[in-house]
Structures are given as C-alpha cells and as structure tokens.
Amino acid sequence: MPELTGQHWIGGRSSRASAPSFRAANPATGQALEPGYAEATPAEVDAAAQAAEAAVESYASLAPARRSAFLRAIGEAIAGLGDALLDRTEVETGLPRPRLASERGRTIGQLKLFADVVDEGSWVEARIDQALPDRQPLPRPDIRRMLVPLGPVAVFGASNFPLAFSVAGGDSASALAAGCPVVVKAHPAHPGTSELVARAILEAARATDMPEGVFSMVHGATPAVGQALVTHPLIQAVGFTGSLRAGRALCDAAQRRPQPIPVFAEMGSANPVFVLPRALAERGAAIAKGLAASVTLGSGQFCTNPGLTLVLRSPAADAFLERTAALLTAAPAGTMVHAGIKSSYDAALAEVEGLPGVGVLARSTSHGPHAGSEARPALLATEASVFTAQPRLGDEIYGPVTLAVRCDSKVQLLELARGLHGHLTATVHATPEDLVEFSELLAVLRRKVGRLIVNGYPTGVEVSHAMHHGGPYPATSDPRATSVGSAAIKRFARPICFQDAPAPALPEELRDANPRGIWRLVEGAPTRDPV
C-alpha cells in the first residue's frame, strides 16, 4: 500500500502548514488510524483556489480529447491502486468489501461516462442563428451560443460514498469534464481514502500533462476549511452531498459573498413509498421483502433510503407491516461510516420514538461483532393525523429505518402527499387499476420529487443519461440540477454567445463546418450538418 503522508495536495505539490489535528477512526472499533491530518490553513485554502484559477484558461482551452484522456487516466489510476485502496476504505468506513468494490467500479464508470460525454461533444448545447443581412427593418446579426466552464469548483467529499461521491466522485468528474479545475475538501471520516484517490488524480494529471492547478485537495475536520473554500472569491461553484444543516450553511455562506455563487447541495430526503391497496393485497409479502432490503442496504446510509412507508389501513396493510417488522427484526445491525452518524441515528430514533402517537413495530435484535458501533434497523409506525401534525416526522432519519404511516382514506392519503416537502424520490407500488384510481396521487408526487419509481425501490441510482438525482428543497438546494448521470455536467457550465465573430474567434463547436460533428440547434432545429 502506498504510504500515506497526511498532507494536503495543492497545485500538484504536497503541503502541510499546520500540525496534524485529527485522525480517521475505524468505525467498528473506534481505533484511531494513522497518519494524522491537519486542518488546512487559510493560506493553504487560498493557495488551492489560486492554483485552480491559474489553471482555468489553459484547462478550459484544451482539446476535448485531452480532457477525456485525463478523466479516463484518473479511472485507470484508481484501478491501479488495487486492493490497497479498498483496504484503507474498508477500515475507514466499515462498509463491506463487496460494496466498496462495486462502488469503485461505479466511480470509474462515472469517469468514463463523462469522458464519453466530452468526446461526443454535444453537451455544450451549441446553437446557431445565422445573419440575415437583408432583414427589415434591421438586419439580424450572426448569433452563436454554447456552454463554457464556470471556473474553479469546490467539491465536498461525502461520508456515505467514500469513492463515488467523494474525491473523484460524480461532482469532481462532472466539473472536470465541464472544463473546471476542482478543489476538493476531503471528508474527515476517510482522509486516507481521500489521499490515495487524490494522488491517483495527480498521477493522471501528470501522465496526461494537465495544468498543475487542475486539481487540489485540502483536509479539515471543522467547518472552517469548508467555509473558507466556499467564500473564497475565486471559487465559482460548489458541489456538496451531506446533511441539510451543513448544506444549508454552505448555501447561505455562498449567497452572502460579494459575488454569490451556485451551490449544488444534495441534502436530506425521506423518499416516501406508497403501497397502494391492490398491490398490497396481491403481493404484500414480496413488497415487504423488497422494502426491508432497501431500508437496510448499506445500513440505511443511502440518500434514497425509503424512510417513509404509506399505506391505507386494511388487513392486508396490517399483514404487510407485520411481515416488514419481522424482516427488520431479523435484519443484522451494521456499522455506520463514522461514530457521529451512528450516534445521530440513535438520537433521532429516540426522539421520534418518544413522540406521542409513534409506535415501534420492530427493532433489530441481531448484531455483529461490534454491537456498540452498529445501527439497528427499525420499523416505526404512526397514523396520518399524527404525521400531519408533527413536521418532524416528515424529515429524514438517516439510517436503516422506515416510518410507516397508516391512512384512513384515499382523501387522507392525498392530503398527506400534498403536505410533503421535497424529496429525491417517491415510490408507488401499484397495479394498473391502482394507477388509475390514484392518478391524482401521481400528479401530486410529480411536484414533490426528482424521481418517481413505480413498483421498484429507490435505492440504487442508475448512472445514465436519463437519470435525475435531485429534487425540490430540502432534498437539494437547486431542483434543476442532478448530481448523478450525464446531465450533471451542465451544473458547471454557463452559456456564452458570440455575435458576428469571425471564424478564427469562434470555438470549434460553433464554426460553420462543425468540425467536431456535434449536434447543434441551427435556427431552432437539431442537426449535425454544417451551416
């Protein structure tokens, strides 16, 4: 395994201006892990932002094939870390090895996806309206528009996906693909994993001859480093996945800047699951099995964990909840990615269980070798009237739990749905007849979420062109943005238009001959033809 240095990486060089002040811990045992990591100083944050700024023009002007080669080289360098990476990630996060291997595959896959998007090139949304010199009363100029990178982007590593939403995760991959240099704030729960991946990125940057400031990474265990980064005048956008509290603090800080900047924060979501009557009667046991598996996947540490389950009161609903309770009682407790997450889970459960009208239908009795660090799956239950009166019940409890809400009528179910705030996903289990009877429910849910799932489970977010992983506040800070799938690249770019610019002053994408062969909107119609 490459020796960890505990350093920040700024503009291609290591740095550590202050003494180490924190270490990762094995979340199963609490054992501290070497080496120590330091809080980046304000000067180090500034140096990282300056390095990124210095790289902006050279990186943005690289031929797309150079940029895609860099993204692919990052994937290869991560793969090249081999077991050493998974060894460290496993001990830092307690996540099971097969899950980490699959997450690594996804991370490399995302880098390749964005490399393909860059190579194909149409993501820049080129639009051309040609001059009409004879138009009356005034001639029309030649107008050509495309997306260009926003500038240096700050990315915050997430704790729950130490590879796929962290140093070289979707935010970094999409920002680098868009042509933006990236400064990562590593998550303090997995600094060693972060260091290994950062060094892989730097190795790829050297191998593909990228400008030095294209990637930097700083450490910090307090909010100060992140705040310094988000408020740095050279940073132009932020990608974040984490808690509502932390995400909102970053959004507010970004808005208080002299120049406000966009923050793409993916935050809390309870991902309601509606199990409709006929589906419940036809296959309640199967849905209970799928639901319990989704609730406990990764110890409930998925943004799309189904934290709310809504049913209409009936004998079939009772049987469904009994079955779900039995499965969750038997489901093994699991180690959470860090001690803070585990204690927050226990505290939130205790709070909600203590609310009047909330009952505990199940609490897992099965634990592993490190019971003290493990989160025990649970099934809570309440009535729609209680749910509606208690806003806390609609918020996320981060961990392997779902709150079942029993409704007395379709009207009450619809009212409950109308009262939901924003979530990443909603799921409906339904027969074709249910879908007809509850079409109004689907119309309501379309206003509430970024993804609507029929007869499936919300965990497992496909990385593809059509995926939208986002949703109305508080699920995210900007419902127009996705953090998964190829459309994520659009977050880090903005349009510029050229008026009457001669060919040499135009980017290749906008030249008459269309040398890159991309799809363009010419006079409003998509085409790959030259103009």
| Closer CB to a second copy, 179 or 377, in the complex | 179
Pick the stretch among 83-91, 189-197, 248-256, 286-294 that binds a second copy (CB under 8 A). Answer: 248-256
Which of 281, 355, 360, 521 is in the footprint of a second copy by CB under 8 A? 521
Tell me if 467 contacts a second copy by CB under 8 A: yes
Which residues from 479-508 bind a second copy, rule CB under 8 A?
Answer: 479-480, 482, 486-487, 493-502, 504-505
Rule CB under 8 A: which of 140-169 touch a second copy?
Answer: 140-141, 143-145, 148, 150-151
CA separation (Å) from 180 to 112, 149, 437, 475, 490?
17, 6, 48, 25, 12
Q: Does 133 bind a second copy (CB under 8 A)?
A: no
User: Which of 24/150 has CB closer to a second copy?
Assistant: 150
Burial 360-397 (b: 16+ CB within 10 A, else e): ebbbbeeeeebeebbbbbbbbbbbbebbbebeebbbbb
In the complex with a second copy, the residue whose CB is nearer, 145 or 190, is 145
If the CB atoms of residues 179 and 192 are measured against a second copy, the closer one turns out to be 179
- Give yes or no for residue 18 binding a second copy (CB under 8 A): no
- CA torsion sign for 470, 474, 479, 481 is negative
Contact 422, 471 (CB under 8 A): yes
The span from the CA of 166 to the CA of 304, in Å, is 17
Distances in Å between the Cα of 73 and the Cα atoms of 30, 115, 163, 411 are 35, 10, 16, 55
Question: How far is the C-alpha of 97 from the C-alpha of 151, rounded, in Å?
Answer: 36
Dump the DSSP string for 47-73: HHHHHHHHHHHHHHTS-HHHHHHHHHH
Q: Which of 164, 270, 453, 489 binds a second copy (CB under 8 A)?
A: 453
- Compute the least distance from the CB of residue 149 to a second copy, in Å: 9
Where do the H-state alpha helices sit in 331-395?
Answer: 339-353, 384-389
Show the tokens assigned to 426. Answer: 């909603």
How far is the C-alpha of 326 from the C-alpha of 68, rounded, in Å? 49
Q: Which of residues 167-206 bind a second copy (CB under 8 A)?
A: none
Of positions 56, 62, 267, 270, contacts a second copy by CB under 8 A: 56
Segment interacting with a second copy (CB under 8 A) among 26-34, 177-185, 276-284, 519-527: 519-527
Instruction: Round to whole Å and give the CA distance between 375 and 27.
Output: 11
The helix or strand, by DSSP H or E, that contains position 169, with its residue range, turns out to be none
Nearer to a second copy, 515 or 526 (CB): 526
CA angle (423 as vertex; 417, 425 as ends), nearest 5: 90
Could you say whether residue 456 binds a second copy (CB under 8 A)?
Answer: yes
**223/156 Cα distance (integer angstroms):** 11
Total number of residues binding a second copy (CB under 8 A)? 78
For the bound state, the minimum distance from the C-beta of residue 111 to a second copy, rounded and expressed in Å, comes to 16
Active site positions, annotated: 266, 303
Number of H helices and number of E strands within the chain? 15, 23
| Shortest Å distance, C-beta 387 to a second copy | 19
Q: Does 466 bind a second copy (CB under 8 A)?
A: yes
Closer residue to a second copy in complex, CB, 129/415: 129
Q: Is 156 in contact with 187 (CB distance < 8 Å)?
A: yes
* Least distance from a second copy to the Cβ atom of residue 196, Å: 25
How many angstroms separate the CA atoms of 426 and 442, rounded?
9
State yes or no: residue 97 binds a second copy (CB under 8 A): no
Determine, following the binding rule CB under 8 A, whether residue 414 of this chain makes contact with a second copy: no
CA angle 508–513–517, rounded 5-degree value: 70
When asked if residue 356 is in the footprint of a second copy (CB under 8 A), the reply is no
Q: Which of 318, 408, 512, 523 binds a second copy (CB under 8 A)?
A: 523
Binding status of residue 512 toward a second copy by CB under 8 A? no
| Residues 358-397 within binding reach of a second copy (CB under 8 A) | none
Alpha-helix runs per DSSP H in 81-211: 82-93, 97-120, 170-178, 191-207
> What binding mask, one character per residue, do residues 251-270 give for a second copy by CB under 8 A, x or -?
xx--x---xxxx--------
Q: Is 455 in the site for a second copy (CB under 8 A)?
A: yes
**Binding of a second copy at residue 511 (CB under 8 A)?**
no
- From candidates 447, 512, 515, 530, binder to a second copy by CB under 8 A: 447
CA distances from 123 to 28, 68, 144, 147, 481 (A): 43, 13, 15, 8, 15
CB of 270 to a second copy, least distance (A): 16
H-only helix segments in 258-314: 277-296
Side chain identity at residue 204, one-letter code: A
* Contacting a second copy within 331-350 (CB under 8 A): none
- Considering the complex, state which of residue 140 and residue 206 has its C-beta at the smaller distance from a second copy: 140
Contact 460, 99 (CB under 8 A): no
Give Cα separations from 39 to 102, 160, 163, 185, 392 (angstroms): 31, 21, 21, 10, 34
Question: Between residue 417 and residue 446, which ones bind a second copy under the rule CB under 8 A?
Answer: 421-422, 432, 435-436, 439, 442-444, 446
Check binding of 526 to a second copy (CB under 8 A): yes
Query: In this chain, which of 8, 127, 219, 338 binds a second copy, going by CB under 8 A?
Result: 127
CB of 467 to a second copy, least distance (A): 6
State the nearest-atom distance from the C-beta of 81 to a second copy, in Å.
22
Nearer residue to a second copy within complex by CB, 143 or 339: 143
Q: Which two tokens stand for residue 157?
A: 């590593």
Instruction: State which residue, 236 or 299, has the beta carbon closest to a second copy.
Output: 236
